[in-house]
């Protein structure tokens, strides 16, 4: 089995890249991070010095074109994902792109087309971290018919992240940077789709409570262009009904949770930082009880390991998350946006 060296270039050293990707890649034998480019020359130099990356680039185009690089990790805001991904694949580089896949469905489909045009290259998205630990246990319960026929799902992503309107505008509140993927909608939907069938119809409403926010380091305000709150009713394949409540503007909200209700029982998954709590109960039980999952039965974060293994041919294909799965969740978030805008139900799949 080949263990050839893999030389990685970083385009955009965002928080997740610093926290997970750079340390994760450095733990793998034969992987070397050889170059980096960030938003400014100053921040590029800081990242290179902090992580002892030997080469800096003036532009992402120069990094992507470099013959010294085999694979590109894209840690920018979503507004650059499509352009950098397509250029990297065209230059013969493997790509690991940060989630959110893109700003909208059109960009996501363009990225998928570029990946399909280069089937010899690995094209991977950073997966939703929610459910990576408990996912195998939840899947096992569903496959064993623990809760019977699935009837309803509730997806909650509601907190006070953007409650304080005196704080500077965040990039996630600017559609030009973040696109149509509102709040935690896409990332939690991606987790749900690992367990349940795909949606067939959505009906959504949204609201923007605070239309302006201060500009960072400037004595002015900017318009917020991403809703503070979204509610979605959805019909999934097979007749399952789903409800989504996303908000960044409420105090003492439920946080991040996924509930699955069946004819014989219930599964509730609560995401609290790195902790994933699975509560289960069936007819006749006095209350929900925590599911005890042994460490060997838990999943884990192995994004960087899977990326490199796929490049080396040790992994047949990446499952968390391939570009087709990314297009699927982008199609869902696009449909939600269209429904809220038009005040009507939207059927899936959307026309190409």
Number of domains in the chain: 2
Same-domain pairing of 211 and 140 = yes
**Shared-domain flag, residues 215 and 309:** no
* Two structure tokens written together for 19: 């926290």
Reported as a single tens digit per residue, the pLDDT across 160-183 is 999 999 999 999 999 999 999 999
Return the beta strands (E) in the chain as ranges.
6-11, 31-37, 55-56, 71-74, 94-97, 123-125, 150-158, 199-207, 212-214, 221-223, 229-236, 241-247, 255-262, 265-272, 275-282, 289-290, 346-347
> 91 and 50, same structural domain?
yes
Using pLDDT thresholds of 50, 70 and 90, give the confidence band for residue 317: confident
Whether residues 52 and 189 fall in one domain: no
* Residues 168 and 277 occupy one common structural domain: yes
Percentage, residues of the chain above pLDDT 70: 99
In this structure, the dihedral spanned by the alpha carbons of residues 286, 290, 292 and 293, taken in order and rounded to 10 degrees, is: 130
Is 83 part of a structural domain of the chain?
yes
28-70 pLDDT per residue, tens: 999 999 999 999 999 999 999 999 999 999 999 999 999 999 9
- Residues 260 and 228 reside in one and the same domain: yes
Residue 2 pLDDT more than 70? no
In a domain, 70, yes or no: yes
Please indicate, yes or no, if residue 338 is contained in any of the structural domains.
no
Residue 295 lies in a domain: no
In terms of C-beta density within 10 A (0-12 exposed, 13-18 middle, 19 or more buried), how is residue 110 classed?
A: middle
Region of 260 on the Ramachandran plot (φ > 0 left; ψ -120 to 50 alpha; else beta): beta
Task: Assess whether 109 and 142 both reside in one domain.
Answer: no
The mean pLDDT of the chain is: 96
Q: Which residue has the higher pLDDT, 101 or 2?
A: 101
Domain that holds residue 263: 135-281
- Kindly report the CATH number assigned to the domain that includes residue 264: 3.30.360.10
For 31-64, b/e burial (b = at least 16 CB within 10 A) is: bbbbbbbbeeeeebeebbeebebeebbeebeebb
Give the CATH number for residue 315.
3.40.50.720
Residue 19 lies in a domain: yes
> Looking at the structure, do residues 10 and 115 belong to the same domain, yes or no?
yes
49 and 111, same domain (yes or no): yes
Is residue 287 in some structural domain?
Answer: no
Q: Are residues 216 and 313 in the same domain?
A: no
Q: Is 89 a domain residue?
A: yes
Instruction: Write down the pLDDT at residue 1.
Output: 44
CA distance linking residue 242 with residue 246, whole number of Å: 13
Q: Are residues 164 and 273 in the same domain?
A: yes
Residues 119 and 143 in one domain: no
pLDDT surpassing 90 at residue 352: no
Has residue 346 been placed in a domain?
no
Entry pTM: 0.95
pLDDT tens-digit map of 147-163:
999 999 999 999 999 99
Residue 293 binned pLDDT confidence (cut-offs 50, 70, 90): confident
């Amino acid at each position: 089995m080949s263990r050839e060296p893999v030389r990685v270039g970083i385009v955009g050293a965002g928080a997740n890249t610093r926290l997970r990707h750079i340390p994760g890649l450095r733990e793998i034998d034969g992987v070397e991070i050889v170059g980096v480019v960030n938003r400014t020359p100053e921040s590029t130099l800081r990242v290179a010095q902090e992580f002892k990356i030997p080469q800096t680039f003036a532009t992402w185009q120069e990094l992507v074109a470099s013959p010294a690089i085999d694979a590109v990790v894209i840690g920018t805001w979503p507004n650059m994902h499509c352009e950098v991904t397509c250029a990297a694949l065209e230059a013969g580089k493997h790509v690991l792109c940060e989630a959110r896949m893109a700003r909208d469905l059109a960009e996501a489909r363009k990225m998928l087309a570029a990946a399909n045009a280069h089937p010899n290259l690995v094209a991977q998205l950073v997966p939703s971290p929610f459910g990576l630990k408990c996912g195998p246990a939840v899947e096992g319960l569903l496959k064993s018919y623990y809760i019977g026929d699935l009837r309803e799902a509730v997806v909650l992503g509601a907190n006070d992240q953007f409650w304080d309107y005196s704080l500077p505008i965040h990039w996630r509140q600017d559609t030009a940077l973040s696109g149509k993927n509102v709040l935690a909608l896409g990332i939690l939907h991606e987790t749900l789709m690992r367990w349940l069938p795909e949606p067939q119809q959505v009906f959504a409403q949204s609201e923007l409570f605070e239309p302006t926010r201060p500009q960072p380091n400037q004595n002015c305000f900017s318009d917020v262009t991403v809703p503070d709150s979204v509610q979605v009713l959805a019909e999934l394949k097979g007749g399952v009904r789903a409800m989504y409540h996303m908000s960044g503007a409420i105090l003492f909200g439920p946080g991040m949770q996924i509930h699955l209700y069946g004819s014989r029982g219930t599964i509730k998954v609560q995401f609290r930082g790195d902790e994933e709590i699975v509560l289960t109960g069936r007819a006749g039980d006095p209350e929900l009880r925590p599911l005890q999952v042994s460490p060997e039965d838990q999943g884990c974060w192995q994004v960087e390991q899977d990326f490199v293994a796929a490049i080396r041919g040790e992994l047949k294909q990446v499952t968390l998350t391939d570009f087709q799965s990314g297009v699927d969740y982008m199609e869902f978030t696009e449909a939600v946006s269209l429904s809220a805008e038009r005040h009507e139900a939207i059927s899936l799949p959307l026309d190409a």
